[in-house]
Amino acid sequence: MSLDTNSKANTGSGWGETAKIIVQALAIAMVVRVFFYQPFNIPSGSMKSTLLIGDYLFVSKLAYGYSRFSFPFSPNIFSGRVLASEPKRGDVAVFRLPQDQSVDYIKRVVGLPGDEVQMRDGTLYINGTAVPKVFQDEFANVECDPYFRHCRRVVYKRYEETLPDGGPTYSVLDLESDGEFDNTEVFKVPAGHYFMMGDNRDNSSDSRASVGYVPFENFVGRAEIIFFSAAIDEPDAMRWTSPWTWPFDIRWSRFFNLVR
């Protein structure tokens, strides 16, 4: 009898330890998610070819400090930012849309407070100086509507841009030689705001149009690293009903790529 009792006690103790470990792991994961790194996925092609539909990435909340948008449900308990560090030109950042603060957007920081930003004939100008733009290659992509009812092969021209003042070098896409946003007015970025643009220049809703200038308070964090990627925007790709196809739909080469 004593042996059975000990066995039951050990079993109960084992389950208790397992539950304790699970609770501790969940608590640690919650703390990391709330205060340090938050996962996001890419649902649109506005940042191609830097970020693709189906990329999953970690966003650093430490990068810019904390505002109310850094926390779940955006509690209105304080204004401004705590432990603030300003975004740098060229950062790929997640922010809350000024017109609808429940929606997250991800774009590249192009204009800093006080900058003058303009597009002329498809070339980006910052403070009156053209940003160097060098042709790289052609970027071919199969693009589908949300329900995969129609797909088409699209070929972009891919260029390499280098931002001023020691800014990064990255790729941008150009689909039309005279696109809707290839020629714009001069945008004067107000104090405390930033000018955001997508790398897919002819297919991005950004500060050139409806997004406008983004307040510093609206920034959630800086995109750091891609931890998973699946080709969900291509025909017959990543069907949840066909798990045997998943290894072929996963973009293994994008795992752990830094976002630049």
Query: Do 41 and 56 meet the contact criterion of CB atoms below 8 Å apart?
Result: yes
Residue with token string 């001023």 = 164
Query: Do 211 and 196 meet the contact criterion of CB atoms below 8 Å apart?
Result: yes
Cα–Cα dist 260/258, whole Å: 6
Q: How many Cβ atoms from other residues are within 10 Å of residue 59's Cβ? A: 22
Minimal CA–CA distance to 254: which of 46, 91, 37, 57? 57
Catalytic one of 46, 70, 204, 229 = 46
Catalytic one of 48, 61, 67, 107 = 107
Q: Establish whether 171 is a catalytic residue.
A: no
Structure tokens that stand for 205 in this block: 């809703």
Q: Establish whether 46 is a catalytic residue.
A: yes
Structure tokens that stand for 219 in this block: 């920034």
Q: How many Cβ atoms from other residues are within 10 Å of residue 137's Cβ? A: 11
Residue numbers annotated as active site: 46, 107
